[in-house]
């Protein structure tokens, strides 16, 4: 469970810590000629995307054994990169390899407008791990002609079927990777490669109605690591991702590196967790996945940690199948210690919540919190990355064994170095609002994410016998869960308890967060959509749902006022205390929906408030942002970890280097980590 927004779950101390780099970090970066002053953060811009590099603070403070562990885990992660491409769409690997062959071997005019458009297209496909946009999930249509593409194929002797070429250029065939519009069919309307093309939503529902045991209090995450295939005779096969099964070639490489990582684990608990993950990939057994998650969440002592697996289900319109992802993390000791206060007080936040008493946890277990620095990412986390993560996703494991919340400190810092203030200055109503945001907004936004991940996702309980949210709330489960966690954070941002705990400087930070949330939910996030589109991405739906519901419920008391000034629209918070009460009211209702499995109420909330867009407002937003320099989406190039060996091949050190640009890294990854056949 994650909040994919530009914010981070750490307190205002991050700003001060990042303003004054440690001696160790400056020393490390200077060895590669990349000091803080001359480091190039933003390397590429194309279409609606900017590509950024990030550093690894404190790398030289790690022991050789720790560096080896990070290296092996990163290699394991990158070895599964092809899996994400294939999960996103069944033809993606074939298309990627064709595009890369053209790019590498074309000897014609590379100054022509058509070639420049091809260059942009391949970068967009690389960035999205496929031919569908990483965020909107709409197909990325080339701006060059089919005839020009055919000439490139011919000139470079690139093999690509006419069928696939037609698909690339068609605005209607497999147009949406993740379709959440039930009228188009959640399965038939989605191009993601989790179900064979002949399967329907009814097929999936019937399959899991028979398979899921709702009386099981410790269930597995059904369907997390498999593809459902419907054969001509009507039988359905579950093709499991495992060694000897689907994606075997890549998973064998993943396991090879995990086995090396296990030999340099920091402690027995970490070694146990890695061993269980290896067993899971060898067997495909989801009970092993449960065992791994329990061992992983109970490893709270390791300084090197990792996410690796088929994890988030946002790319499956039915919410069963997990996308492959990895993040390799190094603990930020100072910030983690300062922010542990949130997890230490998790029970207080639960007890003071506005949710109904019967929906509160009597004992909030094991909510660990860390600020980390990323060393490598792959799959669903790269190039576009979350900045805060809370796992595991299995509710009974979270309730019984706890969860881990991490904030990716160096990622958000890199974002900040490559960012801008155009959105704020255009859509904030007054100089006072702008000043408050500049003074308190970053810290408040980070605290909101902290509360979202550490307290929000860990709060509340489901009534016995109800089943999991993806069973009861179905395609609305992700949106409602993100809204619930957001609301937990919003409610407490205006609570003096945060000043008492020393994690937020002023109540003005809460006001800045309220201003920004309403501004984003009702207006600014719309510049990511094409005019006329509904909102389909779960996090965007969540934000509009919360903001629109609050706007409507507060109209009688003018809690949020819609103002026109100089021909421009603004949404202005007029009463922060009443808005907090409204957030608390919605939190109570969404928790009730989740606890009781009230599908109809959840559907009505999402459809009535989170999906449809005010077209006049949307057009205005697009008009006001059309000349902005800052791109709406950002993603990252990974640092390159380079082993140094002696004459006997023994590793003596591991150095950090940096790719010059996005293209360089993508071509290197294609060379080093392509392990799957074109069709799977």
Give me the residues paired with residue 304 across strands: 330
DSSP 267: S
Spatial distance between the Cα atoms of 599 and 593, rounded to a whole number of angstroms? 7
In order, the DSSP letters of 230-246 are E-TTS-EEEEEBSTTSB
Q: What is the pLDDT of residues 582-615, one digit of tens each?
A: 999 999 999 999 999 999 999 999 999 999 999 9
Q: What pLDDT was estimated at residue 78?
A: 98
Q: What pLDDT was estimated at residue 366?
A: 67
CB atoms within 10 A of CB 453: 32
CB atoms within 10 A of CB 669: 18
Q: What pLDDT was estimated at residue 368?
A: 80
The pTM for the full model equals 0.82
Q: What pLDDT was estimated at residue 37?
A: 60
19 is written with which tokens? Answer: 């303003």
Q: What pLDDT was estimated at residue 445?
A: 86
Q: What pLDDT was estimated at residue 4?
A: 37
Q: What pLDDT was estimated at residue 216?
A: 92
Spatial distance between the Cα atoms of 408 and 255, rounded to a whole number of angstroms? 25
Q: What pLDDT was estimated at residue 35?
A: 55
Q: What pLDDT was estimated at residue 535?
A: 94
Q: What pLDDT was estimated at residue 365?
A: 80
Q: What pLDDT was estimated at residue 291?
A: 98
Q: What pLDDT was estimated at residue 468?
A: 85
Q: What is the pLDDT of residues 117-127, one digit of tens each?
A: 999 999 999 99
Question: Can you state the angle between helices 113-128 and 662-672, rounded to 10 degrees?
Answer: 60
Q: Report CA-CA distances (Å) from 228 to 78, 198, 388.
A: 25, 10, 31
Q: What pLDDT was estimated at residue 36?
A: 57
Give me the residues paired with residue 541 across strands: none
| pLDDT less than 70: residues of the chain | 1-37, 366
Place of tokens 């209090």: 217
Q: What pLDDT was estimated at residue 12?
A: 32
CB atoms within 10 A of CB 518: 22
């Amino acid at each position: 469970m994650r909040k994919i927004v530009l914010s981070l779950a750490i307190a205002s101390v991050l700003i001060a810590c990042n303003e004054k780099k440690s001696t160790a970090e400056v020393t490390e970066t200077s060895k590669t000629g990349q000091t803080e002053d001359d480091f190039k953060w933003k390397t590429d811009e194309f279409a609606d995307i900017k590509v950024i590099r990030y550093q690894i603070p404190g790398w030289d403070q790690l022991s050789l054994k720790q560096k080896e562990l990070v290296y092996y885990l990163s290699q394991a992660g990158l070895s599964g990169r092809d899996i994400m491409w294939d999960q996103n769409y069944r033809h993606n690997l074939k298309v990627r390899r064709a595009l890369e062959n053209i790019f590498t071997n074309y000897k014609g005019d590379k100054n022509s407008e058509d070639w420049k458009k091809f260059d942009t297209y391949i970068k967009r496909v690389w960035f999205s791990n496929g031919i569908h946009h990483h965020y909107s999930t709409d197909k990325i249509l080339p701006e060059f002609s089919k005839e020009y593409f055919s000439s490139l194929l011919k000139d470079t002797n690139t093999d690509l079927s006419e069928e696939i070429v037609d698909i690339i250029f068609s605005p209607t065939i497999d147009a949406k990777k993740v379709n959440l519009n039930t009228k188009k069919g959640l399965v038939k309307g989605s191009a993601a490669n989790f179900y064979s093309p002949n399967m329907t939503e009814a097929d999936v529902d019937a399959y899991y109605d028979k398979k899921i045991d709702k009386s099981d209090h410790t269930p597995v995450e059904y369907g997390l690591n498999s593809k459902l295939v419907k054969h001509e005779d009507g039988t359905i096969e579950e093709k499991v991702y495992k060694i000897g099964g689907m994606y075997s070639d890549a998973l064998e490489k993943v396991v090879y590196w995990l086995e090396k990582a296990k030999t340099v684990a920091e402690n027995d608990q970490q070694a146990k967790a890695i061993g269980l993950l290896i067993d899971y990939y060898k067997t495909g057994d989801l009970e092993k996945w449960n065992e791994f998650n329990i061992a992983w969440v109970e490893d709270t002592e390791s300084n090197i940690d990792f996410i690796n697996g088929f994890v988030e289900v946002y790319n499956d319109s039915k919410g069963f199948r997990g996308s492959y992802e990895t993040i390799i993390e190094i603990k930020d000791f100072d910030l983690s210690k300062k922010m542990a206060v949130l997890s230490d007080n998790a029970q207080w936040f639960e007890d003071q919540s506005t949710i109904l008493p019967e929906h509160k946890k009597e004992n909030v277990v094991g909510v660990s919190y860390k600020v980390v620095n990323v060393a490598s990412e792959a799959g669903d986390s790269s190039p576009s990355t979350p900045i805060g993560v809370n796992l595991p996703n299995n509710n009974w494991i979270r309730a019984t064994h706890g969860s881990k919340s991490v904030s990716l400190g160096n990622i958000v810092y890199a974002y900040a170095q490559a960012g801008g203030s155009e959105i704020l200055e255009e859509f904030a109503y007054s100089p006072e609002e702008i000043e408050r945001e500049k003074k308190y907004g970053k810290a408040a936004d980070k605290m909101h994410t902290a509360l979202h991940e550490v307290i929000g996702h860990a709060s509340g309980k489901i009534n016995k016998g109800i089943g999991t949210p993806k069973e009861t709330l179905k395609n609305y489960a992700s949106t409602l869960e993100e809204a619930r966690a957001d609301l937990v954070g919003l409610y407490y941002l205006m609570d003096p308890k945060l000043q008492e705990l020393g994690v937020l400087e002023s109540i003005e930070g809460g006001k800045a967060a309220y201003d920004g949330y309403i501004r984003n939910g009702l207006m600014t996030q719309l510049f990511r959509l094409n005019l006329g589109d509904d909102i389909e991405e779960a996090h965007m739906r969540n934000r509009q749902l919360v903001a629109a519901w609050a706007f409507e419920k507060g109209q009688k008391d003018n809690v949020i006022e819609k103002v026109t000034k100089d021909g421009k629209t603004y949404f202005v918070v007029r009463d922060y205390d009443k808005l907090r009460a409204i957030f608390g009211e919605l939190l109570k209702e969404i928790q009730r929906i989740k606890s009781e499995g009230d599908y109809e109420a959840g559907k009505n909330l999402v459809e009535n408030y989170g999906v449809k867009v005010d077209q006049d407002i949307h057009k205005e937003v697009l008009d006001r942002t059309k000349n902005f320099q800052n791109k709406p989406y950002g993603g990252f190039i990974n640092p390159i970890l380079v082993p140094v060996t002696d004459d006997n091949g023994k590793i003596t050190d591991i150095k950090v280097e940096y790719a010059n640009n996005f293209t360089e890294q993508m071509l290197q990854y294609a060379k080093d980590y392509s392990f799957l056949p074109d069709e799977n």
